[in-house]
Chain A
Amino acid sequence: DAGVIQSPRHEVTEMGQEVTLRCKPISGHDYLFWYRQTMMRGLELLIYFNNNVPIDDSGMPEDRFSAKMPNASFSTLKIQPSEPRDSAVYFCASSPLTGGLGETQYFGPGTRLLVL
């Protein structure tokens, strides 16, 4: 299995620009999660999907952030407009339903975003 795939791995952009992060979950996984990692706040959940439907977006910091999952094999996290405080590592993770509520979440390699 290829694992969770994220692109790009690194993104450098200027304040005010639109940023789109992409994720391909592990095939057959029913859940997809977007996390953000910063020095100040650690790892925090932004949003998660079940069968392509957003379930909980309470972690999305503000309206500048949006996430979509148009099909079972693709999700995007968009920041528009971007700000320097959005600089972080963004992780996508997926998990199957088969193991129940305690099923492991498998993480992608992350996208390191730097907003200048």
Chain B
Amino acid sequence: AQTVTQSQPEMSVQEAETVTLSCTYDTSESDYYLFWYKQPPSRQMILVIRQEAYKQQNATENRFSVNFQKAAKSFSLKISDSQLGDAAMYFCAYKSGTSYGKLTFGQGTILTVHP
């Protein structure tokens, strides 16, 4: 079974600075997808960024980018120019590329942004 580990329960960053959230996963599959979701206090799960394992190029969405290291099974999220609105719980998630079905989530990292 696949597992996703987020080793940082909490992180903090100053507004306008950069922060990196870590995620590692364990799988025997070669075809899969990885996601970062943001959960603000409203509890809504919002997709931040998505990465296909077969793509070597790291995904980027505006201020959000990932560092995908397939051999190391690592998928970190970098937030540049942090804003107060980035404060939330961030979840890393894994999706098999061979079948439809569930997302396997990590435990989450609480990000605090200081003004």
Name A's B-contacting residues (CB within 8 A): 31, 33, 42-45, 48, 50, 55-56, 59, 89, 91, 93, 101-102, 104-110, 112
Contact = CB atoms under 8 A, between A and B. Distances in A.
A21 B95 CA distance: 25
A41 to B, nearest CB: 10
A106 B44 CA distance: 10
A114 B50 CA distance: 33
A101 B99 contact: yes
A43 to B, nearest CB: 4
Interface string B40-64: 0011111100101000000000000
Interface of B: 33, 35, 37, 42-47, 50, 52, 91, 95-103, 105-108
Contact of A31 (B44, B45, B97, B100): B100
A43 B89 CA distance: 12
Contacts of A110: 43-45
A109 B44 contact: yes
Contacts of A42: 105-108
A15 to B, nearest CB: 24
A93 B103 CA distance: 11
A109 B101 contact: no
